[in-house]
Structure 1
Amino acid sequence: MQSKAASKQAFGRQNVSPTVGVAVTTTELNNLMQALDIDVIALTEILVPCGHRVEFGTIDAPGIHYNLCGVGRISINGGPMIPLSPHLLIIVPPNTPFMIEVEGGSYPPKLISRDCWTRQDGILRVAAPNEQPEIVQICGFFNASLGQSVRLFGELREPVIEQFEPADRIDLKLREAMDELLQQEVGVGAMTASLLKQIVVSLVRRSLKSSQRWTERFSILADRQITRAFADMVARPGAAHSVRSLAHSAGLSRSAFMARFSNIFGQSPMAILRDLRMRQAATDLKTTTMSIDVVALNAGYDSRSSFVRAFRRAYNRDPSDYRRMTKKGIVPKSI
């Protein structure tokens, strides 16, 4: 359920007092990753020859930039140049301009004008005509969310930079996502989202092995006690959670838990729990033949009528209407 509060997501907030010296466990991260939803906004192929540069303005979504081959450099938000090499992956924060250039010939490098940008079946191709590219990069712009209102990278302030190897097969996943868009077969959205989710999970795995865990830039992952409670909510949205039980899970008093949770998410625990329960219900309606009563119970509602009211507020339609629409290939968005 998107709301104005969602734009204040706290994965990047800095005024949370984290649990010092205690990391998020693998089990908790695994629960969060299982519940992660990816919405692919666009895929872009960037080809930059020697002596050229390309400039991008702001895009209201984070971007995964994977350098397939070639050597050049990138500047993010006017910052210092970062060397580009094969299999370097960078996540550029949302609403952040960037520039890629390759040296060679006259200086400054020649700008690839927007007249040379072409689009086909959802793929934007940026290339200088009749020039052999030095840099070949695939970019995926996406939103990653837990439930309807928790955006994983929504408040990322600094780029995430990781060096991968050919054996990690990140390039193959991105190429497969591009092929999916070009072929436009049934299920193209689900396939491209699944491929980008695999890349995000690969990044989280890499972070756990790194001496500089970039996941802990997000305050939800830095605050170990809140993460413990939130991971339980994500893993079991239909359980009989209450503020008291969640505070106990976090090892905090009720008032401390409410303050820290609301400071991180911009919403109360029960508001976030409703979002997670509606996500669970929508998934059950799309993928199972369960009765509405059973879907309601799985989402933590003993009363069918109260579940229907909550679902209607979230999706602006009854659960039975939602199920009929998804069977026709129409997936209504939350409101």
Structure 2
Amino acid sequence: MDILDDILDTIDLKGSLYFRTEFSAPWAVTVPKHSQAARFHFVIQGQSFICVDSHHKVELNAGDLILIPYGSSHVIADSPKEKAPALETVLTDSGYRGEGVLVLGNGRQDHSTQMVCGHFNFRSKAEHPLINALPSYVVVRSGMRAQNPLLDNALRMISRITYESSIGSNAAIKRLSEVVFIELLRLGIDENGPKKSLIHALNDRSVGRALSLIHSSPEYPWSLDALASEVAMSRSRFAERFKGLVGKSPMLYLSEWRLQKALALVGDTQCSIQQVANLAGYRSPSSFTRAFQGRFGMPPKKYREEVRNERSS
């Protein structure tokens, strides 16, 4: 099984495009906090400065991309700034109606900063150690692009399509942005931190095999002994290695992944609560409902109702 594919399908990764920009100095915008989203800004032309959480200041030039995984509030501007008008104010004052290019300043294209700005949505309440271990922001520059042709090609295609007015250009940019996000996860963004350990876990012969078993059959009554036996390791060595790479014990990872799968089944299918409980490895609907409410703060029926109301609104 492709574990990364299973993770991204379960948390329901989807790219969304905010707008394409043409900003001429002076300009600055405060992008508000957005939970369950990872924001990105990709500079096509010119220069931009990003201030994340009022203290991380990053300079971006043409060809650079910044990913802000946790939807943190941040300022984008023509020079380093910690404060700027709110995005909603800027959109209202500019007359932008959600289509075409957002223009600020004198409109001189040859001196403007042109960007593609958007975000990646995740299922409400969904999470995974692979996403949680991302740093507060990630910058993709020419060096990383040169070493990773697929990533570079996706960004080049976004640049090429950005200012086309042809049918489907926005849809193409959304899908390509998803390719960029997935490729960053595959490559291992923070080579010295926990993110790299998680990539190692997926590729590790023993831990990767255990993860594959869990993801292939989350409903199976796995025990620590059973998983250790499957990967031909002692119970203690397996538990230690798994936790060292994944950051959680095998049984905690299993229980949390079962609930993430259940979250997807409750939100996306017509399965009864008993069917979901069975598919998620719970012996009874009542024990499943208690675990679901303890983890997500509401019973599964309430979560299903909220998802349906949100989709119909």
TM-score when normalising by structure 1: 0.60
Q: Return the offset for 1:221.
A: 0.2
1:25-40 equivalences in 2 (<5 Å): 27-38=2-13
Q: Secondary structure at the match of 2:220?
A: coil
1:152 aligns with 2:153: no
Over the aligned positions, Cα root-mean-square deviation in angstroms equals 4.8
Aligned match of 1:84 in 62, 80, 84?
A: 62
The residue that corresponds to 1:244 in the other structure is: 225
The residue that corresponds to 1:204 in the other structure is: 182
How has the CA–CA distance of structure 1 residues 239 and 197 changed in structure 2, closer, same or farther, with 3 Å as cutoff?
Answer: farther
Deviates more, 1:237-246 or 1:196-205: 196-205
How has the CA–CA distance of structure 1 residues 204 and 284 changed in structure 2, closer, same or farther, with 3 Å as cutoff?
Answer: closer
AA partner of residue 118 (structure 1): L
* Unmatched runs of 5 consecutive residues or more in structure 1: 1-25, 102-107, 180-191
Q: Return the offset for 1:64.
A: 1.8
Q: Distance in 1 between matches of 2:264 and 2:189?
A: 27
Q: Return the offset for 1:65.
A: 1.7
1:66 aligns with 2:42: yes
The residue that corresponds to 1:222 in the other structure is: 200
1:140 aligns with 2:140: no
* Unmatched runs of 5 consecutive residues or more in structure 2: 146-151
Q: Return the offset for 1:297.
A: 1.1
Q: Return the offset for 1:220.
A: 0.3
How has the CA–CA distance of structure 1 residues 195 and 317 changed in structure 2, closer, same or farther, with 3 Å as cutoff?
Answer: farther
Q: Secondary structure at the match of 1:63?
A: strand
Q: Distance in 2 between matches of 1:313 and 1:109?
A: 43
Aligned match of 2:85 in 86, 111, 114?
A: 114
**Structure (1 or 2) with the greater helix fraction:** 2
1:298 aligns with 2:279: yes
Q: Return the offset for 1:200.
A: 3.2
Q: Distance in 2 between matches of 1:318 and 1:275?
A: 16
Q: Return the offset for 1:267.
A: 3.7
How has the CA–CA distance of structure 1 residues 100 and 293 changed in structure 2, closer, same or farther, with 3 Å as cutoff?
Answer: same
Identity %: 20
AA partner of residue 159 (structure 1): V
